[in-house]
Amino acid sequence: MAKQNSFDVVSATDLNEVRNAIQLALKEVRQRFDFKGSVSDISLEAHEIVLRSDDEFKLRALVEVLEQKMVRRSVSLRALTYEKVENAAGGTVRQRVLIQQGIPTEKAREITKAIRDSKLRVQAAIQGDTVRVSGRDRDTLQKVITMLKEMDFGIDMHFENFRSH
């Protein structure tokens, strides 16, 4: 019987790195002159970041600082989904940033369709919030990984659990 090889396409964000990036961003915000006397704040609530500031201009500067720190901590900006800016209490503005954990179902379907359309001899199956790709030949699986890296699905993708069964 031939060996079966497989790997998983996942989309997971390390929340510890996100926490560290938020702490570094807050430290910088507290030291910057343009944020003196403002109520600018960044907090992490479950799987979303909440940004608060005096006005939209300072909020944009706050987002810029946060994104710089995220990049330094190796957190992909593709894992962040910005919601619209809303008014908050006390004349401030607030923006929620969703952190992607897992591949959404419609994106998983796009990934499996792209794999099927490639005509490579592999099988792709959606398993919860991951996509498992399996096939006999390891080289073919490497080609699938290369193909998926070249395509843009608009999400942060990682390839894990490359194994032989």
Q: At 79, which amino acid appears?
A: A
- pLDDT attached to residue 2: 55
Per-residue pLDDT of the chain (165 residues; tens, 9 = 90+): 457 888 888 888 888 999 999 999 999 988 988 888 888 899 998 889 999 998 889 889 999 999 999 999 988 888 888 999 898 888 889 999 999 888 888 888 998 998 888 888 888 888 888 889 998 888 888 888 888 888 888 888 888 887 876
pLDDT at 94: 92
pLDDT of amino acid 22: 92
Domains 5-11+103-164 and 15-99 belong to one CATH topology: yes
Cβ-based burial of 61 (10 A; exposed 0-12, middle 13-18, buried ≥19): middle
15-99 falls under which CATH superfamily? YajQ-like, domain 2 (3.30.70.990)
In order of 13, 57, 134, 147, the CA distances from 5 in angstroms are 25, 51, 6, 17
Domain 5-11+103-164 has CATH 3.40.50.720: no
Residue indicated by tokens 């799987």: 47
Q: How many Å apart are CA 127 and CA 7, to the nearest integer?
A: 12
For the chain, give every domain's residue range.
5-11+103-164, 15-99
pTM of the model: 0.79
- Predicted confidence at residue 1, as pLDDT, reads 43
Please state, in angstroms and rounded to a whole number, the distance separating the CA atoms of residues 95 and 120.
43
- Contact of 17 with 150, CB cutoff 8 Å: no
